Chains A and B, each alone.
Chain A
């Protein structure tokens, strides 16, 4: 649910049934969007009003607004709240709010028929494929919104209120088309209260991690577990570690499919680190067959000390976490003393992707709604209930956060400019699949780090050579 659609498309593999659901729908949907076109009449004609300082996007006050929200782990109260703010400003406008789980299934026919809603939260496993929507010119350019004054402070443009990387995450070619509302950070999670009770300190380096794992194991707890059914979860700390060692140059080389990128010393040594973790028996027995919910529940129940996950973990575990558990996220330890990035660097990306369909009846209203949603007031309300960081800078200032969310905010603050994200997973899905398979084998001690690098490099080379695959560079 809360995976950023751009940086990490794994929701499609995250839960068993969601996959079955999503996959069946995605492709028909897309193509539908494309062939469904042909009606060039502008449905929004007559639905824009005069622009003013107070109404920078030219909303026609009484035009109804239809908003479709992905109702996942964050619920949809925050979106209703933004709707309330909207109707307060335009009392004549009637808002049709829908909170759904299967965005793609519900909206596909609407896009085909050129009658899409005015705002879409295109998130979740069965979301519409954004690249295809973009190619079909079904999405409105949000430049006007980004350049409009922000809802809270007319002196600041909307684009200057967002966390770093948010606009880039929603930009296709040169055009900003989507705005991601949440900010996700990946790291290693543990129970602060457990660690305090045992006198364990969160490790800054991998050597400290191994030493701590020995202590934890001796205490009768499995040091690590992971969401074995979906090996991409344990890829995250591995790739984070490699990025810290090799720096952003390593990340770019991997994403740009450069020759032997996967044989970089940073990647090999990170793979060796995880092979060692597995080799020393620090992974909880049976983890390799657990779904994300099962592994996370085992961790919440104190059967394992660490689990790798993104910052959605706390809200996902809300119902099964014992009181006083105090989960917190730590950053992936440094592998070497000569790492290019500091130990505080984090893998981070924005998600929960909002867009205004090109064929919306009320696109100005749609953008105005987003302007209100991305206001500090609305983002703050979201942060206090949803348990995740909004993509709006400073939205959590002055809020008392839960232990998990507080640790995520602190990690973002500590990282400063040192955030990074890999793109190959979105760009080259077959490479991600090859990597997941190889990493699953690596942490189950069936291949060595060198073989791991060999395999993944081979898959990357195959993609680089394949002329039928659209290439991207960063």
Chain B
């Protein structure tokens, strides 16, 4: 980790030299940036505001503020759609799958990136090709595979399948990352008598931390928003993940014409992720920087 972190510091010239002599007009730049920020935030803000309106207000005045806020919409979404339970289910499944994905993915990526052996390229492409498979091509056969293993509708079943579908991207991403890590440290560790496993876990993995963070974030987002897989493999309403739960809320919206409840549900699903992101965005950006620079 230290090696990677030091790199930019080496290449950055002293602060004084970085001060520009000439400045571009800042105003139009801000205008452009602000315009896109509005485009991005407005629909989300609108969903939040609409979640406090009555159905009649939603239908008649799309731009108005609620005459009197309707917390009942949120209560309805929370009680009728069990958003809390779905959240917990999502946490369990995504958390388990993320750990498994990171462990298996980094092991494979490292082994393929740092060891020469027959079949290395073949295994690599076997994984990487899977990134480009359209998932619903596999859905029905996958259902039977999971069912025959007795894993249908269970947390372990979902975790295994989630991980299986997230590992290819993880391998692809980390493979190039491990390749660029300097070999000297590992060699020194070998000379010191470290085993292969110890070199990986104690030396290489810490050095790859920025990459792990980056791919971990991608995986988290991908798994958190996964919809097709749980739809087919997770039929028990008690184990619904958040996307399924939200869809269920939309189902009752379809039956009962409850727009305000649907907006409240959307908001409940959005806010925690957005707040968590704002809280952790520094780390996330650091990870992505590492990913982009690699």
Contacts and interface: CB of A to CB of B under 8 A. Distances in A.
Direct chain A–B contact by Cβ atoms under 8 Å: yes
Interface string B255-271: 11111000000000000
A106 B59 contact: no
A249 interface: no
A265 B143 CA distance: 48
A301 B244 CA distance: 32
Given A109-B153, A301-B59, A73 B255 contact: yes
B235 A108 contact: yes
A interface: dominant SS = helix
Contacts of B56: 301, 320
B59 A297 contact: yes
A17 B247 contact: yes
A100 interface: yes
Contacts of A20: 227, 231, 247
B128 interface: no
Interface stretch (A25-33, A48-56, A156-164, A431-439): A25-33
Given A20-B247, A102-B237, A293 B140 contact: no
B257 A112 contact: no
Interface in A84-127: 100-102, 104-106, 108-109, 112, 125
Interface in B21-71: 55-56, 59-60
A339 interface: no
Given A20-B247, A21-B251, A106 B237 contact: yes
Contacts, number: 95
A37 to B, nearest CB: 13
Contact of A25 (B152, B153, B235): B235
A316 B257 contact: yes
Contacts of B5: none
Contact of B251 (A17, A108, A109, A317): A17
Interface residues of B, number: 32
B86 to A, nearest CB: 14
Nearest to B256: A319
Contacts of B258: 319
A15 interface: yes
Nearest to A298: B59
Given A102-B235, A106-B235, A28 B140 contact: yes
B257 A16 contact: no
Given A35-B144, A102-B237, A28 B251 contact: no
A18 interface: yes
A65 B231 CA distance: 29
Contacts of B259: 293
A409 B232 CA distance: 40
A18 B235 contact: no
Contacts of A105: 235-237
B interface: dominant SS = helix
B213 to A, nearest CB: 32
Contacts of B255: 1, 72-73, 316
A297 B56 CA distance: 9
A28 B236 contact: no
Nearest to B55: A320
B162 to A, nearest CB: 16
Contacts of B228: 24
Contacts of B153: 109
B147 A32 contact: yes
Interface in A396-444: none
Nearest to B152: A109
Contacts of B226: none
B254 to A, nearest CB: 3
A347 interface: no
Nearest to A11: B254
Nearest to A100: B237
Interface of B: 55-56, 59-60, 136, 139-140, 143-144, 147, 152-153, 227-228, 231-232, 235-237, 244, 247-248, 250-259
15 contacts: A15-B251, A17-B250, A17-B251, A18-B250, A18-B251, A25-B232, A25-B235, A28-B140, A106-B236, A106-B237, A297-B55, A301-B59, A301-B60, A316-B257, A320-B257
Interface of A: 1, 14-18, 20-21, 24-25, 27-28, 31-32, 35, 72-73, 100-102, 104-106, 108-109, 112, 125, 292-294, 296-298, 301, 316-320
